[in-house]
A and B are shown apart, each in its own frame.
Chain A
Amino acid sequence: MDTNNVNEPMKMQFDIAHDDFIRAGEASSKIKKMLLQLGFSGRVIRKVAIATYEVEMNIVIHSWGGTLDVEIDPGSITIIARDRGPGIPNIDEAMQEGFSTAPEKIREMGFGAGMGLPNMKSCADEFFIDSVVNKGTTIKMIINS
C-alpha cells in the first residue's frame, strides 16, 4: 500500500448473528447514518443502505453467523460480508431473481422472495461472490460515489 497516502479508508466491522431478527438491519442503519454525516449523496447512501441490508439479512437467514466489514473512502464504499454456513451450491442459480432456498417460516415473515442477491448486484458497481459448500460465503461489493 502506498504509505504516502495520508487518507486511509475508514474501516469498521459488525458481527451479524444467525436468526437474530430483532437486531437485523442495525448495522445497515448505522452505516447509513455515518455516510450521511460524511457527506455522501442520497443516491450513494441509498445504494449502500439497500446492499448492506440485503447482505445482512442473508447472513441472518441463511448462515450460521458472520461479519460485515465496511471500508469508506471518498471515492467508493467497499462492503465485505463473510459468513460461516451451508454455502451456495450453484451461484448462477442463486443469482436469478425469484430463486430462493428460504424455509417456509422465513417466507411467512415476508423474507426469502429471492431478490436479495439480485438487489445487491444491481446496487453495486462491482460485485464478487465466492462460496464453498458447508463452509460459507463471501460477498464483496464496491459502490462508487
Chain B
Amino acid sequence: MKPYFHSVTLDKEKCLGCTNCIKRCPTEAIRVRDGKARIMDERCIDCGECIRICPQHAKLAITDSFERIKEYRYPVAIPAPTLYGQFPSHVSIDKIMNGLLQLGFARVWEVARGAEIISQVTRLFLEKNDIPKPILSSACPAVVRLIRVRYPELVDNILPLDSPMEAAAYLVKKEMKKEGYPISDVGVFFISPCAAKVTSVKTPLGKEDSNVDGVISIADIYGPLLSAIKKLEEVPTLQKASGSGISWAVSGGEAHLVDKEHYLAVDGIANVARVLEDIVMGKLKNIEFIEGLACVGGCVGGPLTVENPFMAKARIDARAQKYPGSLPELSPDIEWEDFIWTKRVKPTSILKLDEDMNLAIQKMESIDIIHKSLPGLDCGACGAPRCRVLAEDIVQGQADQIDCIFKLREKITELAEDMVELSSKLPPSFSEREKK
C-alpha cells in the first residue's frame, strides 16, 4: 500500500495551471509546477476545497464505481443522511431507500441510525472519560486531518469515537452475521457526499481497518437512483432513523450533546481553522464541544453532492422536524465500547522545517530575510499561494528566487543596466575620436 492515499486528485489534462486552488487550500498543500497543479500528498486533508474552486473541474475525488457492488453477493447500501436532502420532500425517505434496493442492493441501512447510536455512545463515553475541553467532534474526517497537520496541540481533544458511517457499517455486518449471512459475501457501500470519507475508509486514522468496503459518490448514483424511484410501484416502510440522526447532515447536528451555550457548530474549513486558532490561544472560554465541519452548511455542502447546499439544508431540517423522536436506547446487544478508537491519532510534523531544531531556526531566519525581499503581493504567479510560502520553498530547495516574476524583472533590469554600462566601455587602444 502507498504511504498516502488520497481521494482528491488532479486531472492533468484539464488543469490550466491557474492559481485558484493554491490560494484556497487550508494546508497550503498545492503548488503549480510545470504549468500544472501538484498536490503534496503528505499535506492534503481531502477537504475538497480545490474541487469546489477549480474553474476547469480538474480536481476530482476518486470514489468506487457503482459496478463494484457486483463483487459481492449481498451488497449493502449505507446512505449518508445527506442523500435525503438531494430529493424534494414528496420523495420520502422510504422511497429513497427502496430506490436503492431497486438498483441492486440487498439491504439498506441508514447512516442516520449510526449517528443516533454514536450520539448515545458519546454520552456514555463522556460520562466515563475525561478528555480535554473543548472536545472536538471527530465526525468530519477532513477536520480531524486538519487538526493533525495544523493544530497538533489539539489532537488529544478529538473525540476518539467512530463516525456514524463506521458505526452503521459495523452494525449492519453484525446484524447480517447474526442472521446467518456469510460475512465475506457482504459488501458495505457508503453513499457519500464527501471525498475525505473515501480516504478515511482506505486509510483510517483511529482504527486499523474500516468496516466499509466501498464508497460511492452521491453524484454518481443520483441519476440512476432518480429513475429507480420513479419506477417504484410499492414502497414498503424501511426508514428507522429519526430527526436526531437525520440532522447530522447539517451543521449543528450534534448540538443535543451538550448545553447550547457551551457548544459551537462551525462550518466551512476556513472558519473551522479560525476557531481552532482561537482555541489554542485560549481565546474562546467556557466552550465544551465543537462540531467542526469542513463543508459550508455541513455535509450537505459536500463536494460529491448535486443539490444546492442551502436547498438541501432546508429539506434536511424539514425531514428532521417531520420525524421527531428522542434518541433510541442502545439495544442490549450493542457494546458501546466497540465504537472507541483503538489507535491513537498522532499529530503529524509535516510543517516542521527541519528535524534538527537549530537548523530549523536558521532556516526560519533565512525565510524571514527572503520573505522581506519579496513583493508581498501574494499573487501566486510563482506557483506558491503566498510570498511567505515561496520563501519557505526557496529555503527548502523546492523553488528559486527568480520564480517570482518581480524578482525576475529586477534581475533583468540589473542585467540590462550592466549591458548598457558595458556597451559604453571601449578598449584602451581606441582613441577618444574613435569613440564618436
A contact set with B: CB distance below 8 Å: 7, 9-10, 25, 28-29, 32, 34, 36-43, 45-46, 49-50, 52-54, 72, 74, 110, 113, 119
Contact = CB atoms under 8 A, between A and B. Distances in A.
For B153, B285, B354, the residue with the greatest tally of chain A CB atoms inside 10 Å of its CB is: B153
A29 B277 contact: yes
Given A38-B352, A39-B349, A42-B347, A74 B361 contact: yes
A32 B357 contact: no
B318 interface: no
A39 B152 contact: no
Contacts of B365: 10
13 contacts: A37-B352, A37-B353, A38-B360, A38-B361, A38-B364, A39-B349, A39-B357, A39-B360, A43-B153, A45-B153, A50-B281, A53-B282, A74-B361
Nearest to A43: B153
Given A10-B365, A34-B364, A45-B152, A39 B355 contact: yes
Nearest to A46: B153
A125 B281 CA distance: 17
Contacts of A25: 278, 281, 283
Given A34-B364, A37-B360, A42 B282 contact: no
Interface of B: 150-155, 277-278, 280-283, 285, 347, 349, 351-355, 357-358, 360-361, 364-365, 392
A49 B361 CA distance: 18
Q: Taking chain A's interface residues, is the majority helix, strand, or loop, or is none over half, making it mixed?
A: helix
Contacts of B154: 42
A32 B281 contact: yes
B353 A39 contact: yes
Given A7-B361, A38-B360, A42-B347, A49 B353 contact: no
Nearest to B152: A42
A41 B354 CA distance: 14
A10 B280 CA distance: 22
A28 to B, nearest CB: 5
A39 B283 contact: no
B88 to A, nearest CB: 43
A36 B364 CA distance: 11
Nearest to B282: A50
Contacts of B364: 10, 34, 37-38
A143 B155 CA distance: 21
B145 to A, nearest CB: 16
Given A45-B153, A53-B283, A10 B351 contact: no
A113 B154 CA distance: 24
A55 B383 CA distance: 37
A8 to B, nearest CB: 9
B414 to A, nearest CB: 31
A40 to B, nearest CB: 8
A23 B384 CA distance: 25
Contacts of A72: 361
Given A7-B361, A42-B153, A50-B281, 6 more contacts: A25-B278, A37-B352, A37-B364, A43-B153, A49-B282, A53-B282
A7 B278 CA distance: 32
Contact of A36 (B152, B357, B358): B152
Interface centre among B154, B281, B285, B364 (most CB of A within 10 A): B281
A7 B150 CA distance: 27
A51 to B, nearest CB: 9
B357 A49 contact: no
Contacts of B281: 25, 28-29, 32, 49-50, 52-53
